[in-house]
A and B are shown apart, each in its own frame.
Chain A
Amino acid sequence: MELAFYSSAAVAILATLRVVTTGNPVHGLLYLIVSLLAVAMIFFALGAPFAGALEVIVYAGAILVLFVFVVMMLNLGPELARQERQWLRPAQWVGPGVLSAALLAVLLWFLFGAGTGALVGQGTVGPKQVGIALFGPYLLVVELASLLLLAALVAAYHLGRREDRR
């Protein structure tokens, strides 16, 4: 299980790096899909199969389909890849890179300092426990999230409405 965890974590990191560094947008999305699948594998290795399956269904299977849909429509050619490579100069990424490295250091310090997290592969959180947790202690949060989504839906409907139909 630990082997599965570390190998899928390595795949996730490498694929995400390629998402940033690749010039071709569709290849970037392909790497992003691989990265999300690797994160789903991490969930499986940690004993949360429900979260892993939802990761694949929602992110890899639905949201990225829309991303690919939009990128396909833009008909981006080789000159865009050249432009992307131009943008990816050290002057552009050194600043954000240093800030991210600082965040990573803090994260690692917490992880190794605290060390109270559950071990890999200890117990399995099935769909039933997730459901009970969502509609028990976290009911208010779920309802708030659904209100937020409803507001987003109404806003999207308003933005997508055609004015000339009046």
Chain B
Amino acid sequence: MNPDWLTPELISILIAIGKAVVILLAVVLFAAYLSFIERRLLALWQDRHGPNRVGPFGIFQLIADMIKMFFKEDWTPPFADKLTFLLAPVIAMSALLIAFAIVPVTPTWVVADLDIGILFFFALAGLAVYAVMFAGWSSNNKYSLLGGLRSAAQTVSYEVFMGISLMGVVAQAGSFNLGDIVEAQADLWFIVPQFFGFLTFALAGVAVAHRSPFDLPEAEQELAAGYHTEYSGLKWGMFFVGEYVGVVLISALLVTLFLGGWQGPLLPPVVWFVLKTLFFVMLFILLRGALPRPRYDQIMAVGWKVCLPLTLINLLVTGAVLLAGSGPVGS
């Protein structure tokens, strides 16, 4: 060890990078593994076996699937628009993965402690939409295009109320910073005073991750595989992992914003965070197994006529209560 170049700043930078890499790997690996967990859990709830052949309880199924995916022909259709066709899966996987940087896993363990925290997530969720739209357009395929159009229509209807649904939380915590928001929930989790905010954000979150029942862009009964019909091999795998990254991200955000994040008695913070996140991931999967898929005009109607007024009223009431109590509570 040479003390000349090994300054304390360098060590702290290296530790920060190490923490960020650990979070990145944990999220990506867990997201990939979710494909197996989802199939097993769905099978359990539907009274089937699911994939249980590869290794004990089928835990090596993912490796088999990955080998299959790597050896598939990575085909770019000649009629596709090359630039956007290649760009779409990259956006799909990276956008929501980058958004994970703002989630505080423990009091000291967060990749990017941004003052604009939640806005950063909104920005990346807004950009993630292009993955579906560009994939749908560039494939030059009717089904893909319909998937992309549905995605655009869906986005316009949920993004507005998603933004407003979290403003109650921001007003109560007095900050956009996710760390501050977790600290503000020391006495009472925000799911109690912000219950409608929680409901509407959970709805919008399912739509952000394109999960059933809001998986209209890839409704396989009507649209083949929707926007990723023309994708195969690793490019398709990036869409696939991107969807699960979305599930993990939305679960982690729901935990951070409404269930007190890493806070909890006895157990260390990281354990509480992981446990709560796993609970929401499980709910995501259960939702897929339990609910039918609505038509997309129904989704738009619910978004504009129910959720938007609900979030606006929620924000108004929150503001009024805060003004009456004068000053932000819990901070």
Contact = CB atoms under 8 A, between A and B. Distances in A.
A27 B85 CA distance: 11
Interface string A61-93: 110011011001100000000000000000000
Contacts of A30: 83-84, 87, 134
B122 interface: yes
A interface secondary structure, majority:
helix
A97 interface: no
Contacts, number: 80
A53 interface: yes
Contact of A60 (B81, B114, B115, B126): B126
A26 interface: yes
Contacts of A60: 123, 126-127
B288 to A, nearest CB: 25
Nearest to B119: A53
B126 A69 contact: no
Given A33-B130, A50-B116, A72-B136, A65 B155 contact: yes
Contacts of A54: 119
A4 interface: no
A27 to B, nearest CB: 7
Query: Which of A54, A56, A124 has the largest count of B CB atoms less than 10 A from its CB?
Result: A56
Interface in B160-182: 163, 176
Interface in B78-130: 81, 83-84, 87, 114-116, 119-120, 122-123, 125-127, 129-130
A124 B114 CA distance: 12
Interface in A103-129: 124, 126-127
Contacts of B176: 127
Contacts of A56: 123, 126-127
A61 B120 contact: no
Given A60-B127, A65-B155, A72-B149, A53 B120 contact: yes
A157 to B, nearest CB: 12
Contacts of A73: 149
Q: Which of A26, A57, A60 has the most CB of B within 10 A?
A: A57
B155 A53 contact: no
B209 to A, nearest CB: 16
B152 A26 contact: no
A46 to B, nearest CB: 14
A26 B133 CA distance: 11
Contacts of B116: 49-50, 53, 126-127
B304 to A, nearest CB: 12
A90 B56 CA distance: 70
B164 to A, nearest CB: 12
Contacts of A24: 81
Contacts of A49: 114-116
A49 B115 CA distance: 8
Nearest to B87: A30
B159 A62 contact: yes
Interface of B: 81, 83-84, 87, 114-116, 119-120, 122-123, 125-127, 129-130, 133-134, 136-138, 145, 148-149, 152-153, 155-156, 159, 163, 176
Q: Which 3 A-B pairs have the closest CB atoms?
A: A61-B126, A53-B119, A56-B123
9 contacts: A26-B138, A30-B83, A30-B87, A56-B123, A62-B159, A65-B155, A66-B152, A68-B130, A68-B134
